[in-house]
Structure 1
Amino acid sequence: MKKRLGLVYGGKSAEHEVSLSTARAVSQAVDFKRFEVIPVYITYDGEWRKGKPLEKPVETIEELRLQGDGTTKPDSIHDFLNGGESLPDVIFPLLHGTNGEDGTVQGLFEVMNIPYVGNGVLASSAGMDKVSMKQLFAQVGLKQVPYVHFNRSGWMEEREPLIEQMEKELGWPMFVKPANLGSSVGISKAEDRESLITAIELALKFDRRIIVEQGVTAREIELSVKGNDDPVCSVPGEIKPVTDFYDYEAKYKDGNTELIIPAEVTPEVLETMEDMAIRAFKVLDCSGLVRADFFVTAENEVL
């Protein structure tokens, strides 16, 4: 008998469209001979829509926008929760961003006793928030790009002191990011005070917590880390965008980013990256599969 595999995708975050692309890719990779694939679409309003089992891989993301019954049910998961024997045997969460990668939906599946793919509540939550994640990385001695963080109220009350702190500790350019989003959503490069203020105001539209990092000139190298208590690393890959930095357009739309696998790095750099990736994996208590991103400078410093 086939296992019922639930693909949960969409969601209420700003990364909704990215999640649809991920679900399409997974549908094209899954073995339909082994699994009965059940799509579970979460709309922008938070309505959960469980569709009929897929008969074949999905060709376009529009096929994944399951239609409702004509009524609006914001935040309704009743049909899913009351699925009884029709509930999936295992869930593959394909949500991006808040209410998906941040431990919330993982906690729901834990309470429901439904097995799911990927990281648990702690790793998802801590790994989603860039500030908390960096603080944990510091505890195990991982070298990082210098940064400053603050929340909305801090920015409103102490804008000038914060700008002066960032100029002193980080210098130009800086990269401004919402603390709890991925896919480069809401990220901007700031090269002066005016663009810094504009970038922070943009990031605050997506999150109340902001992180501002020092700009570095470096290669972008990534590893995947696989496993649970005894993780192992993949070969390294290098990302070479044609744009100023690896932004949302470069990741998902323009198609011009060059991916080099395996990346050309020295044995010493590779050993350092693998060690750092596994330490990061373990301090967050990750499981299954994660991606670890690094900057490698011209002097072969790994950050």
Structure 2
Amino acid sequence: MSTGKVHKGRNDFPEDPTDVLRSVLDLTPAGEDAATGELLFTGETPPQARGRVFGGQVMAQSLMAAISTVDGERAIHSMHGYFLRPGNALLPITFAVETLRDGRSFSARRVQAIQEGKTILSLITSFQDPVSGLDHQSPMPTGVPDPESLPSTSDRLGRMRHPIAQEWSWARPFDIRHVDPPIEIAPDRSEVATNMVWMKTFSAMEGNANLHRAALAYASDYTLLEPILRRHGISWVRPGISVASLDHAMWWHRPARADEWLLYVQSSPSAQGARGLSNGRIYSRDGELVASVAQEGMIRVPGDLQYRVKNSVQSLFLKGAGRPRR
């Protein structure tokens, strides 16, 4: 439940955080590559506290570039991407789209997201004409609290005097509400390999089904590695931890709007070799399975005494940082 109005620690965040999403999904055509014939687009990157481009942003922009080259009746139904290099939030990104196939029912595109001549994300996506066929789905979990009964990120972190906490609270385009105990600043001692969040944009999004699917890809990258951290009793602020997405796959099953509440149900079947795998299912509020997701991430966690001491000291500091100023 909301704890009331929380004052921002900064005043330079957008009035409507979803404007960030609108701006990054609005790509600019940049002509054609003279050597390859690929269609080129450029995209905007908002300021980011860590200096790295959010992976969900690059995926969503790559999808928007591909969408621009496909007949409007065909909807995205799958995407497979590899994160090859970290993106620099201070540099422009160019998206090069290669047409792999345009068949009677399906179209396929390859997109390379490029900075300074190097690929940071390589993605293939497929589109399909609307068609009827067999239909079944895994059921939505029951007994889940309504999103309105849960605190928002700004309710929980908005008072913290830390740039990342402030960015998560006021600059994320999506309202993310954890069903399970959040692990941003404190671990979950239950050590279960699951996670569940409600999510939607803060304001209504105009656009067709493909734009909403690209927006959903953006949000799908937020919390997908949390089942791995939760399973091992680790929070996002563990000193010395290094986390990075390696690849991301997504399948869209049924229409859904990114500006309506969606339940993101996540689990991790395995972690090993400094890598962990997470799976996700995204449901509409009325119980339709709208998308499935899978991601492998690199997770390196120092375990020596020095980092355990730093972890304890940092926990005490963060508790103090979250107190209101007098």
- The normalised TM-score by structure 2 is 0.25
Higher strand share: 2
Higher helix share: 1
Higher RCO, 1 vs 2 (CA within 8 Å, ≥6 residues apart): 2
